[in-house]
C-alpha cells in the first residue's frame, strides 16, 4: 500500500531539507506524533542492513504511543534533496514500512515536501488496509503541516 502526501511550505527548499535530512534524528522536536527521537549509530543496527554512506546519520530511533522504531536511511542524495528509509521493530501487523522523502524548490522561499510511504500488512490485516491508508494519510499530512509551521518559524 502506497500513501502519497505532499505539502507546499513557505520556506526555502534548503531550509526544509536541512530539517528533514541534516536534523533527521531531531524529528521529535517538531512533530507531536513522537515523544522522543535520537541518532542510532551503525554499531547499534542489526547486521545486513544497507546504509547510505553519505547520509548525515545512518538511522534514528523514534518513539510513539504505538511503537519504538528504528528508521534506517538506505538511499540519500544531497543534490536531489531526497532520502529513503526503512523502519525496523515494526508492530506485528506490518511486514514492512518504507518512506521516500523529497524536497523540491518552488521559489526562493517556497518548497514542496513529498512523502511516498510504502506499508505492507500481514495476513488478515490486509483487510484493514483501506481504512489504515486513510488514517495514515491523515496522520502524515498532519506531520507535514507541523513541518511547515516549524520550518517557517525556524531562524537558523
pLDDT digits (tens, 9 = 90+) for 50-72: 899 999 999 999 999 888 999 99
Indicate the pLDDT class of residue 3, thresholds 50, 70 and 90. very high
Indicate the pLDDT class of residue 140, thresholds 50, 70 and 90. very high
Rounded Cα distance between 147 and 101, Å, is: 13
Q: Domain limits at 20? A: 2-153
49 by DSSP, 3-state: which? coil
Q: Which one has a higher pLDDT value, 46 or 117?
A: 117
2 CB burial (10 A radius; 0-12, 13-18, 19+): exposed
- Give the CATH number for residue 145: 3.30.530.20
Indicate the pLDDT class of residue 154, thresholds 50, 70 and 90. confident
pLDDT of residue 35: 96
Contact between residue 122 and residue 94 where contact means Cβ atoms under 8 Å apart: yes
pLDDT of residue 134: 92
Rounded Cα distance between 133 and 34, Å, is: 19
pLDDT of residue 129: 87
Burial 97-107 (b: 16+ CB within 10 A, else e): bbbbbbbbeee
Indicate the pLDDT class of residue 76, thresholds 50, 70 and 90. very high
Contact between residue 88 and residue 65 where contact means Cβ atoms under 8 Å apart: no
For the beta sheet containing 68-77, the strands, ordered from the edge strand earlier in sequence to the opposite edge, are 2-9, 110-121, 94-107, 82-88, 68-77, 59-63, 36-40
pLDDT of residue 126: 87
CA contacts within 13 A on the Cβ side of 58: 11
pLDDT of residue 150: 97
Q: Grid cell 547520509 — which residue?
A: 55
Average pLDDT over residues 77-88: 97
pLDDT of residue 20: 98
Contact between residue 6 and residue 147 where contact means Cβ atoms under 8 Å apart: no
The answer to pTM > 0.85 is yes
Query: Domain total for the chain?
Result: 1
Amino acid at each position: 500500500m502506497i500513501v502519497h502526501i505532499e505539502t507546499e511550505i513557505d520556506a526555502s527548499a534548503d531550509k526544509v531539507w536541512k530539517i528533514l535530512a541534516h536534523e533527521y534524528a531531531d524529528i521529535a522536536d517538531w512533530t507531536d506524533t513522537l515523544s522522543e527521537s535520537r541518532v542510532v549509530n551503525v554499531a547499534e543496527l542489526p547486521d545486513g542492513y544497507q546504509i547510505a554512506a553519505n547520509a548525515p546519520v545512518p538511522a534514528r530511533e523514534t518513539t510513539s504511543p504505538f511503537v519504538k522504531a528504528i528508521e534506517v536511511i538506505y538511499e540519500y542524495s544531497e543534490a536531489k534533496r531526497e532520502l529513503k528509509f526503512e523502519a525496523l521493530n515494526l508492530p506485528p501487523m506490518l511486514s514492512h514500512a518504507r518512506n521516500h522523502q523529497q524536497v523540491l524548490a518552488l521559489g526562493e522561499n517556497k518548497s514542496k515536501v513529498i512523502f511516498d510511504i510504502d506499508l505492507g500488512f500481514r495476513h488478515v490485516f490486509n483487510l484493514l488496509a483501506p481504512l489504515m491508508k486513510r488514517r495514515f494519510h491523515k496522520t502524515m499530512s498532519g506531520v507535514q503541516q507541523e513541518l511547515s509551521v516549524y520550518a517557517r518559524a525556524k531562524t537558523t
